[in-house]
Chain A
Amino acid sequence: MKFLRPLCTFLFGLAVLLFFGLAYPHHLHYQEQFQLFLFDSTYVWEIVREPGGVADLLGRFTTQFFLYAWVGALIIAILLTAIQLLTLRLINVQWLYGLSFMPSFLLWLFLLDENALMGGVWAVLLTQLAAWAILSLAKGWTRRILLMAAIPVLYFLVGPVCLPIPIDSLWIGAHYHRYPTVFPWLLWGAAFSIWGLMGITLLIRHFPKHFSLHSPLSTLLLTALVAVIMGSIVWKNANYRAEAVMQYDFMARHQQWNRILETVNKEKPNNQIGVTVQNLALAMHGVLLDQLFNYNQNGIAGLLPDVKEDATSPLPTAEAFYQLGMINVTQRTVFEAQEAILDFQKSGRCYKRLAQTNLINGQYEVARKYLSALQKTLFYRDWAEETLPLLGDEEAITRHPEYGRLRKMADDEDYYFSDHVTPEMLETLFFHNTDNGLAYQYLVAYYMLTGDRDGYQNFISSIKQ
């Protein structure tokens, strides 16, 4: 048993790491793109001054590392392992070792939800650390007084997790979930299970004769039982369909056109984001018209879907707008998507694209604002500092492989855009710059998908003229 427990703990950590690194990496990318952690005193103060702010701040701090999925997976693995070890310390009944995984498994389940936030995990960990410190350092009345005194302090630092009473009014507004009105039952369950286990421990200590399962085999069996039951619950509740959609969004964000085609060739997407990204990758390779019907299609909604009022679905569409040279439309779509983030956070991905669109439009002072904010981040700082010298440097922008090309592609005729792309818009785009092969492909694909032969004939006649 001496080595078995550390081994089980290690295997648990390894399982978490492999799960998030291999099976759930794009959930981590998804999390990262809907927040922007700034190394800025005002930003930090705005967070920590709220109840639960310290846990929230730590959650946001760690989430920025999710840009790199394996780093994110490692962080989650370390946190969940630490919570398991602390639970074991707190219950301090070695044969209950298997049950010490309960809170960590519940948190794992909690994190399967793409809108569950890391602040909740930190809240549990900080509460455990505080409890462990008090139980280790004090005894008798001092311990009781310290525990009583710690609750309000902890409430301010980590929020209602420290006192897991399932009263809506206590939890609503705590930043544990992106939907502030959602009651995070799994997080509550994780926090409550620690108290529950501690209660069981007390019971066992009061009635030692009734609870004497000291054999290594029973400990092992209990651990295996918890691992199998909880592990299968985790596996069954993981949302792999969402993961696949997020993967397409991720690949579009990083313009991984080859990887997109490799992915769609393995399994053809049948969701809107997947189809949109697939068509964009085909167009970027110049084969959209040849291969359009080799893949699943969703009418024109799979080409350039109408812009919806949510944070997720407009972003891949905005990528297509951007590559087409519809810069103002991109800007609006990305801005709206960012505004739709449910917990009012900003997005590194969106800030970057807003800086780019303003740069291409020649609105350098606005671009500078976004770049200045990105300079205060860990992972976007280098990009921002590379981009800042471009502001106002017309020659450098013209020479730039992306911005120069997009400036040439952009519309020269103003028209109104609401939420729906029309063939006239694509036609205008194409006739402004007939080198805009993407606009040509999208326009002809539009006619192919709608079966609009007259429109196509008119377009071809216009080309001939």
Chain B
Amino acid sequence: MKTMKRYIYSYTLVLAAAIWLLSSCAGHPDVPASSKEAKCLPAIFPDYCDVTIPCNIAPLNFMLPADEYDECVARLTTPDGSQQTYGKGVKVQIPLQEWRDMLTAAKGQSIKVEVWGQKMNGEWLSFNPFEIRVAPEPIDDYVSYRLIEPSYVAWTFMEIAQRNLTSFEETQVFNNEITMNDREKGQCINCHSYQNYKTDNMLFHVRLSNSGTVIVNDGKVSKVNMKRDYTISSGVYPSWHPTEKLIAFSTDITRQGFHTLNPNKLEVYDEASDLILYDVKTDSVQVVSNDSTLLEVYPTWSPDGKYLYYCKSVPLPEEMNGKDIRTTYPKIQYNLYRRSFDVATHHFGDEELVYDAAAQNKSATLPRISPDGRYLLFAQGQYGCFHIRHNDGDIVCMPLDQGFPLTQSIDLSKVNREGRPDSYPSWSSNGHWIMVASRREDGNFCRVYFSYFHDGKAEKAFLMPQEDPELNTFLLKSYNRPEFMVEPVKISVDEFSKVFDK
């Protein structure tokens, strides 16, 4: 009997130790017993202080600077009074299910966050608490982007990846690994695009060897070549018509130049560009606009499909005509225009000036209309068409109910970062989330930011969360051309690869 008791005692002890160990692993540390008030917000990375987030987003994991702190503890309190603490080293990583429970409890309200940091000298600091507001509106479940080194000309392995925004799951849509095995046959992949946020109709381009546009039409994959005798190139920047099997493209002769001093480092410019309409059903190409003296680029459809918006350069001053574009590019500015579209006849109406950027000594690119048709987002810099490489590149939002040309804009100071490139704006399918590609962290590596948009007001932009917040620092790749999707791409990399065997 004594032996039995000893066994039970030992077993209980081991079990208690195991439970204690497991609970430690779950990352619920104690709040420091004493601390000094820092009287400021914590310098957490990413900066999630006082942001508004979707009610379905993945955990907003963050960290204190590792070169200043040894430990970080965060206490999160939901409106129902529930509290939980997190922190391991300098990182706060919240388990997915616990985070989802908190979002549910705080939907339409806020989560209070208190942060303590232990300095290298052992002293604990307590920071001013901040709030994370949980919007009732969800964000689209998926976003896809091209992961690529912020390259000049050469490129290596690249992939189009899709990320589940409600978790941290990231999978490949396509990669160039198979074709990259032979440098001579290497491929560059780019410009993925979806019809109406869904993936049964989508496309991406493949350049160089075995080039073409991979089009998914009702789930069937094919590769097409859109180059015609009467176009200057195959399709480049795409936009799917929201309801029809039509895709508007720009056709571009694109060049790059490399600065020796300018912090923008490189310039991407078009020597020529036009607009075409590609009919997926008939594999036919219709020219929309091909003024040889001007540059037309970045087409985008209005959500009802009745208008095609696009950018067009303004004529250069007479004395600059005929000069090398490498000397004239700082003077090239784009305005925004639109043309009506008749779905039945595929006929485009007359051109309307939507926004006269050149009148403001600016250049507007990449227009996107909100799903409710009430707002226009675009990227603006002083010149050119590639603001993701321009430190003065910012996002602009204008209400469309003010008559053309537009003049009034909405304050997006909480979305943009002064002096760092912000570009490639887009709307979530419910119109409540703006997504922006920005090099704001370091001026070099592009990251994805989201901002809550409600009643014509945009809230502070926040960085797409990662399971390990340090990934945002260490990942030496850019998130290129982020696009919202309401569902994942269902076709595998292998299935996509098969179109190159034909």
Binding site for B on A (CB under 8 A): 172-173, 180-181, 309, 326, 328-329, 332, 335-336, 339-342, 344, 346, 358, 361, 363, 365-366, 368-370, 372-373, 410-418, 425
**Assembled-state Cα–Cα distance A137/B476 (Å):** 47
Task: Establish whether residues B476 and A373, one from each chain, have CB atoms under 8 Å apart when the complex forms.
Answer: yes
In the bound assembly, the distance between CA atoms of A418 and B259 in angstroms comes to 9
B262 neighbours in A (Cβ, 8 Å): 414
- Judge whether A332 and B261 touch: CB under 8 Å: no
A415 to B152 alpha-carbon distance, docked (Å): 16
Query: Which of these, A181, A335, A369, A417, contacts B474 with CB under 8 Å?
Result: A369
B359 on the A face (CB < 8 A): no
CB of B442 within 8 Å of the partner chain: yes
Shortest distance between the CB of B256 and any CB in chain A (Å): 9
Cross-chain contact B152 with A326 (CB below 8 angstroms): no
Q: Does B323 contact A (CB under 8 A)?
A: no
Contact A369 B443 (CB under 8 A): no
Flag whether B149 is at the interface (Cβ < 8 A): yes
Q: List 11 A-B contacts (CB under 8 A).
A: A181-B182, A339-B154, A341-B156, A344-B156, A365-B443, A365-B444, A416-B257, A416-B267, A416-B326, A417-B258, A418-B258
B445 in contact (CB, < 8 A): yes
Q: Which 8 A-B pairs have CB atoms at the shortest separation, nearest pair first?
A: A365-B442, A339-B154, A414-B261, A336-B154, A344-B157, A180-B181, A416-B257, A366-B444
Query: Could you mark each residue 260-299 of chain B with 1 if its beta carbon is under 8 Å from any beta carbon of chain A, else 0?
Result: 1111011100000000000000000000000000000000
> What secondary structure prevails in chain B residues at the interface with A?
loop
B258 touches A332 (CB 8 A): yes
Known contacts A339-B156, A341-B156, A416-B326; is-contact A372 B260 (Cβ 8 Å): no
Report chain B residues within 8 Å CB of A363.
263, 442-444
> In the complex, are the beta carbons of A328 and B156 less than 8 A apart?
no
> A411: which of B152, B183, B261 is its contact (CB, 8 Å)?
B261
B155 beta carbon closer than 8 Å to chain A: yes
A373 neighbours in B (Cβ, 8 Å): 474, 476
CA distance A391 to B183 in the complex (A): 37
Q: Tally chain B residues at the interface, Cβ within 8 Å.
A: 31
Interface residues of B in 145-197 (CB under 8 A from A): 149, 151-157, 180-183
A407 CB to closest chain B CB (Å) equals: 12
In the assembled complex, the Cα of A121 lies from the Cα of B311 at a distance in Å of 57
Tell yes or no: B209 within 8 A of A by CB: no
CA distance A346 to B149 in the complex (A): 11
Give which listed residue, B152, B261, B442, contacts A366 with CB less than 8 A: B442
**How far apart are the CA atoms of A167 and B180 in the complex, in Å?**
20
How far is the CB of A241 from the nearest CB of chain B, in Å?
23
Residues of B in contact with A (beta carbons under 8 Å apart): 149, 151-157, 180-183, 257-263, 265-267, 326, 441-445, 473-474, 476
Chain B residues lying within 8 Å of A417, measured Cβ to Cβ, are: 258-260
B183 neighbours in A (Cβ, 8 Å): 342
A335 touches B445 (CB 8 A): no
Nearest CB of B to A436, in Å: 14
Taking the nearest CB of chain B, how far is it from the CB of A46, in angstroms?
11
Give the residues in chain A near B259, CB-CB below 8 Å: 328, 414-417
How far apart are the CA atoms of A335 and B266 in the complex, in Å? 13
Chain A residues, Cβ within 8 Å of B473: 368-369, 372
Chain B contacts of A413 at CB under 8 A? 260-261
A361 touches B156 (CB 8 A): no
Contacts of B476 in A (CB 8 A): 346, 369-370, 373
Residue from A332, A335, A373, A425 whose CB has the most chain B CB atoms within 10 Å: A332
Chain A residues with CB under 8 Å of B152's CB are 332, 335-336
* 15 extra A-B contacts, CB within 8 A, seeds A336-B154, A344-B156: A181-B182, A336-B152, A340-B156, A342-B183, A344-B157, A361-B263, A366-B442, A366-B443, A369-B444, A369-B473, A369-B476, A372-B474, A413-B261, A416-B259, A425-B260
A118 to B262, CA, bound (A): 42
Which chain B residue has the least Cβ–Cβ distance from A342?
A: B183
Q: B158: nearest residue on chain A (CB-CB)?
A: A344
Nearest A residue (CB) for B476: A369
A339 near B155 (CB under 8 angstroms)?
A: yes
Chain A residues with Cβ under 8 A from B260's Cβ?
Answer: 326, 328-329, 411, 413-417, 425
How long is the Cα–Cα vector from A366 to B478 in the complex, in angstroms? Answer: 12
- B261, B262, B441, B476: most-surrounded residue (chain A CB, <10 A): B261
- On whether the beta carbons of B265 and A328 are closer than 8 Å, the reply is yes
- When C-beta atoms are compared, the residue in chain A nearest to B266 turns out to be A332
**Bound complex: CA of A460 vs CA of B261, how far in Å?**
26
Min C-beta distance of A310 to chain B, whole Å: 9
Contacts of A425 in B (CB 8 A): 260
How far in angstroms is the closest Cβ of chain A from B153?
Answer: 6
- Within the complex, the shortest CB–CB distance from A178 to chain B, in Å, comes to 11
Min CB distance A200 to B, Å, is 36
B255 nearest CB neighbor, chain A only? A418
Shortest B150–chain A CB gap in Å is 9
